[in-house]
Amino acid sequence: MLRVALAGGMVGGVASTLFSTYLPLLLARSFTGLMIGALYPTLLTLLGDSRTGVDRARSLSALQIYASLGTTTATLSAGTIAALLDWRLVFGLTALGCLALLCALRGATADAAEQPTAVLRQALSASALGVYALAVLMGAVLMGVLAYIAPALQHTGVGVGVAGVLAAGYGVGVISGAHLMRRLVRRFFRTGLIATGGTVLACACAVSALTLTPPVLAVTALLIGVSSAVLNVSVQGWATEVAPRARATSVSLFACSLFLGSSLSTFLTAGLAQQGRYGLIFSLALLASTALTVVAALGHASWMRRPGAGGRGPGAA
């Protein structure tokens, strides 16, 4: 899966550098997204199959750190490269990155999974569907709101470059939160971690709902990053446990739900953003994050009480 996804991402990246008209470029980017979108769920599945308990939680936090480093680097560098040199170079560099990772995987092998054949019925159980629904809401708040940090900063009069730097505080928050998470998982049950991460997310939305200034928006980006490291990783861990015999399918559906929520959020609030009503967007995000925190914490606590639910110790899903 990793090799196929990287090869497809490389082809899509090269194709993206060759087209400049809208429709061909749209198709090339969509194909690239289709391929690259398979990487993260596959890595989550690998960690779910090879790690348990606290070790799994810490591994998911480490994965979040590296993913955020990549996101932060791209946020800071992609726009600058496109503005100073050529936008095609950005897509070309991602193609080279895929090629480098393909070379790194040369000769790599994986042990056969010692689990039963994946059962689609388990991946579509009531518990699993509940986790996917939470992922839609989490994607709408975590990722959807994050997309408006830089535009909101520009709306306050900040330049594009400064807006990018301040918005990149998200990556700093993720890295800091992930390090914190590695300590918390040894002491707290995952229900408490979900509640903590959700509370931080609500606070992030609340401060920008009250006032829109560059320092406040920078704090919001930072807190969203911290919440992502705690809340998102905790729910990801839950997703790897909710259907263990169909882990690859359930994790993929979880990731799909996360990005679906992000897309729906952006689509539904685009009109407000065009009107410059970012305060209202953050207010709606505050309501959604509060509901997410309550439902996710109560839902996970209920799931943990089910017979045979995995992970009874601290940090367990």
Task: Give yes or no for residue 34 having a pLDDT over 50.
Answer: yes
Average of per-residue pLDDT across 146-173? 81
pTM: 0.76
pLDDT of residue 309: 56
Q: Give me the pLDDT at residue 198, please.
A: 94
pLDDT bin (cut points 50, 70, 90) of residue 190 is confident
Which CATH number belongs to the domain containing residue 235 in this structure? 1.20.1250.20
pLDDT tens for residues 275-305? Answer: 989 999 999 999 999 999 999 999 999 998 8
In the chain, what are the helix, strand and coil shares in percent, each to the nearest 5?
80, 0, 20
More confident residue, 131 or 246: 131
Joined together, the tokens standing for residue 137 give 């809401």
Asked if 73 and 81 count as a contact pair (C-beta separation under 8 A), the reply is no
Q: What are the C-alpha distances in Å from 43 to residues 67, 128, 133, 162, 310?
A: 11, 19, 21, 33, 20
pLDDT score, position 183: 79
Is residue 112 domain-resident? no
In this structure, which long-range contacts are made by residues 262-267, counting pairs with CB atoms below 8 Å and at least 24 apart in sequence? 262/139, 262/140, 262/142, 262/143, 262/144, 262/147, 264/136, 264/140, 264/144, 265/139, 265/140, 265/141, 265/143, 265/144, 265/145, 266/144, 266/147
3-state secondary structure of 275: coil
Please check whether residue 171 lies inside any domain of the structure: yes
Q: Residue type for 256, please?
A: C
Does residue 314 belong to any structural domain of this protein?
no
C-alpha torsion angle, residues 180, 224, 75, 270 (rounded to 10): 160
Q: Is residue 138 part of a domain?
A: yes
Query: Is 29 a residue whose pLDDT tops 50?
Result: yes
d(CA 317, CA 312): 8
Domain with 269 in it? 2-107+120-304
pLDDT of residue 115: 52
Sorted by sequence, the CB contacts under 8 Å of residue 55 that are 6+ apart come out as none
CA distance 207 to 243: 37
Q: Report the pLDDT value the prediction gives residue 312, as an integer from 0 to 100.
A: 44
Q: What is the chain's length?
A: 317
Residue 115 lies in a domain: no
CB 51 within 8 A of CB 310: no
Whether residue 131 is contained in a domain is answered as yes
Interval 95-120: pLDDT, tens: 999 999 999 988 877 655 545 554 67
Burial class (CB in 10 A: 0-12, 13-18, 19+), 284: buried
Of 180 and 83, more confident: 180
Q: Predicted confidence band at 317 (pLDDT cuts at 50, 70, 90)? A: very low
Residue 124 located in a structural domain: yes
Provide, rounded to the nearest whole percent, the portion of the chain with pLDDT above 70.
92
- The verdict on residue 312 lying in a domain is no
How many distinct structural domains can be found in the chain?
1
What average pLDDT score do residues 257-279 get?
90
pLDDT of residue 291: 95
